[in-house]
Structure 1
Amino acid sequence: MEDRKKRILRAIIDDYVLTATPVGSRTIARKYLSNLSSATIRNEMSDLEELGYLSQPHISAGRVPSSKAYRLYVDMLLEEGIQQTAQDEELKAAFQTRISHLEDVVRSAAQALAQVTGYASFVLMPRQESLRIANLQLVPVSKALALLVIVTDGGIIRDTMVQVSERLDADALYAISKMLSEQFTGRTLREVQTALRQFAGQSPGDPQVLQGIMDLSTQMDSQNAVDQLTVCGTHNILGFPEYQEADKARQLLYALDNKEALMNLVRDTRGEELLVHIGPENGIEEMRGCSVAVAEYRLGRGQRGTIGLIGPTRMPYQSIFSTLRMASQAMNDILSN
């Protein structure tokens, strides 16, 4: 295809992607190819339509690209090389913060508790620096791409995509994974964060792999530095007659949104299997009319988190305790596996 036709076709596709409306010759001349007249563009568009790259939905309308046009467009992009966009760093960050296992359990547990009980629920996941590495490996994805995965003994998984040398086949990646696991298995995340930096700074291995290790260790360092509290079902509180008054409900919702105060309250169960802070005992003025019931769950080498429910002081404590005990045991069973 002639270069001029390609340029016109690309302009039509670019505009259609943005507007989702048929594209006319005057639009192309005005917005994309001012060096060409509308008449010239119109003639080329007629040729492109005859070749099957464009269609005209109505006689008076402009043209829209066909599947054949999109195929040519994509092929041209691939031939030229994909250019980095402003979204790429955002997308990379999103990939690097993908989390599964423990965080999925935490979120699901909080949602299930709120849904089943009709109260507000919370799950506190303690800071993770004392968890230990259970496995670390590189999984081949394509010829020059691998998935770096770190798994802890508490079920936390961190992963990130890393570019690798095309010389590294599956066997080479397995050998690197084995070496990394031998060096880091059994160490705490805090120890590994330091060791990873030293390893990446001193090892003569593939620099892209080492950069991936450095990036993931930095991510782990920032994500595991603080306790994380997940709260669900705060809207459930508004269904109770105690909080039908707008101002009172607003104050309670504000208190539930103050996660630092809530974390201070539920962080420690004082060694009790189940604990409840009733009314003023919770120490939060806006929650004087609420009770906070708390249970512990276990994760990895002595780490303990808490799970609980928040509702009016007239909560049915027997059933609340039964529910929390079951939830705690379920969390323990899931996380121990």
Structure 2
Amino acid sequence: MMLDERKIKILQAIIQSYITNAEPIGSRTISKKFDLGVSSATIRNEMSDLEELGYLVQPHTSAGRIPSDKGYRLYVNRLLESNDLGFILRHDLKNRLINEIGEIDQLIYNAARILSKVTNYTSLAIAPQIKKSQLKHIQLIPIDDSKILVVIVTDSGIVKNTVLRTEHSISSDHLNIINNFLNIKLKGLNIGEIGAEVLDQLIKEIYDYKNSILDILPTIVYALDDIEGIEVFADGVNKIFNFPEYNDVEKARDFISFIENKPFIIDMMLSGEHNDIEISIGNENAYDEIKNCSVITATYSVNGKTIGKIGVIGPTRMDYSNVISVVRSLSLDLNEIIKNYFIK
């Protein structure tokens, strides 16, 4: 059975009504609220067909229906009308990000906080992954005879500092030579590529300073390993209680438990195809705890390379048009701000 224009209009009306009211919709309600030019009886027959096709489900014995995951998927793919945020709101979102710029991790956290506030859903963000970044610069700064401050700068704007202790005193001249050597040899390498093999090769090439470089290099490699952990930000977790679907305490507890499980969030956020906007609806989600949720994410990148993700998670009865517009706008703002403020 094909979906003709009338069925599509009825399905769209049901989805829009359910997103707003969270109540199963009957044919009489659709007939009164939407000018579809057909009788209540005709709408009822069409709703029955839509249910048979899997686009609607009847949660109770009443005549009311609600959209299925398949219905939402059709709505998102074919029926969704783009929501224009308007210049003022877009400008406001960007200004909020710019006004709170600090370290790049703080920028991403602020973006997640703003996203939750504007959409009224739980927001999630993955901070830039340092091992997917390229090393841009290393600076070795002497503190005293046995301590050196190592400043690591990546092409994605991440700056990490670590203090290392040396067994031998290293003169400023030797430290400058080693500093310049490391920048020549390591610049442009992915952080994840800098390991034991690279270490051995560097020692061979700068043998005259073997003792000094043996003091410094292993500590730098260990420092890079220490900062590999992926940072996850979440905001507005308790907003799930605003939705009647989550009046069930067990259901709400499962949702919150999932959000607090960092490995699950990382897997969910990073397992997609890294498209402009990704939307996962209901049973399309891999985890049982969020089979009643939709997840909308967007990537942010540097020089065309994805370095993180930001998005929202909430009931499948989500205001898709608004959320997609806000998520897309914030991801574009992040791309621009990272490029202008962190990539030198």
**Which residue number in structure 2 is paired with residue 182 of structure 1?**
184
Corresponding position: 1:246 with 2:246:
no
Q: In structure 1, how many angstroms separate the alpha carbons of the residues matched to 2:165 and 2:257?
A: 45
Q: Aligned AA for 2:136?
A: A
Deviations 1:81-127 (A, max 9, x none): xxxxxxxxxxxxxxxxxxx8443333332233234433211123475
Q: How does 1:66-105 map to 2 (within 5 A)?
A: 101-105=103-107
* DSSP-derived class of the 1:311 partner: strand
Question: Does structure 2 retain, via aligned residues, the 8 Å contact 1:120–1:311?
Answer: yes
Q: How does 1:38-49 map to 2 (within 5 A)?
A: none
* DSSP-derived class of the 1:319 partner: helix
**Which residue number in structure 2 is paired with residue 288 of structure 1?**
291
Question: Does structure 2 retain, via aligned residues, the 8 Å contact 1:294–1:309?
Answer: yes
Deviations 1:281-326 (A, max 9, x none): 2233222332111111113562343211011222222221121112
1:147 Cα deviation after fit: 1.2
Question: Does structure 1 retain, via aligned residues, the 8 Å contact 2:274–2:298?
Answer: no
**Which residue number in structure 1 is paired with residue 334 of structure 2?**
331
Q: How does 1:14-53 map to 2 (within 5 A)?
A: none
Q: How does 1:89-238 map to 2 (within 5 A)?
A: 101-125=103-127, 127-142=129-144, 145-163=147-165, 168-169=171-172, 172-194=174-196, 195-196=198-199, 198-199=201-202, 203-205=207-209, 207=211, 210-224=214-228, 228-238=231-241
* DSSP-derived class of the 1:129 partner: helix
Any stretches of 5+ residues in structure 2 without a counterpart? 1-101
**Which residue number in structure 2 is paired with residue 50 of structure 1?**
none
Q: In structure 2, how many angstroms separate the alpha carbons of the residues matched to 1:300 and 1:216?
A: 26
**Which residue number in structure 2 is paired with residue 17 of structure 1?**
none
**Which residue number in structure 2 is paired with residue 65 of structure 1?**
none
Q: Structure 1 residues 116 and 173 mapped into 2: Cα distance closer, same or farther (>3 Å)?
A: farther
1:251 Cα deviation after fit: 1.4
Q: Aligned AA for 1:123?
A: A
Q: In structure 2, how many angstroms separate the alpha carbons of the residues matched to 1:126 and 1:156?
A: 8
**Which residue number in structure 2 is paired with residue 318 of structure 1?**
321
Question: Does structure 2 retain, via aligned residues, the 8 Å contact 1:162–1:208?
Answer: no
Q: Choose 238-247 or 191-200, whichever is displaced more.
A: 191-200
Q: In structure 1, how many angstroms separate the alpha carbons of the residues matched to 2:237 and 2:203?
A: 45
1:219 Cα deviation after fit: 3.0
Q: In structure 2, how many angstroms separate the alpha carbons of the residues matched to 1:281 and 1:134?
A: 39
Q: Structure 1 residues 231 and 188 mapped into 2: Cα distance closer, same or farther (>3 Å)?
A: same
* DSSP-derived class of the 2:194 partner: helix
Question: Does structure 1 retain, via aligned residues, the 8 Å contact 2:283–2:291?
Answer: yes
Q: Structure 1 residues 118 and 286 mapped into 2: Cα distance closer, same or farther (>3 Å)?
A: same
Question: Does structure 2 retain, via aligned residues, the 8 Å contact 1:111–1:121?
Answer: yes
* DSSP-derived class of the 2:156 partner: coil
Q: Structure 1 residues 275 and 301 mapped into 2: Cα distance closer, same or farther (>3 Å)?
A: closer
Q: Structure 1 residues 212 and 114 mapped into 2: Cα distance closer, same or farther (>3 Å)?
A: farther
Q: Aligned AA for 1:138?
A: L
% same residue: 28
Determine which structure has greater relative contact order: mean sequence separation of CA pairs < 8 Å that are 6+ residues apart, divided by chain length.
2
Q: Aligned AA for 1:106?
A: I
* DSSP-derived class of the 2:113 partner: helix
Question: Does structure 2 retain, via aligned residues, the 8 Å contact 1:153–1:300?
Answer: no
1:166 Cα deviation after fit: 5.8
Q: Choose 111-120 or 150-159, whichever is displaced more.
A: 111-120
Q: In structure 1, how many angstroms separate the alpha carbons of the residues matched to 2:280 and 2:193?
A: 37
1:271 Cα deviation after fit: 5.4
Q: Aligned AA for 1:315?
A: M
Q: In structure 2, how many angstroms separate the alpha carbons of the residues matched to 1:108 and 1:200?
A: 42
Q: Choose 184-193 or 123-132, whichever is displaced more.
A: 123-132
1:332 Cα deviation after fit: 1.1
Question: Does structure 2 retain, via aligned residues, the 8 Å contact 1:137–1:174?
Answer: no
Q: Choose 138-147 or 281-290, whichever is displaced more.
A: 138-147
Any stretches of 5+ residues in structure 1 without a counterpart? 1-99
**Which residue number in structure 1 is paired with residue 270 of structure 2?**
267
Corresponding position: 1:299 with 2:294:
no
Question: Does structure 1 retain, via aligned residues, the 8 Å contact 2:125–2:233?
Answer: yes
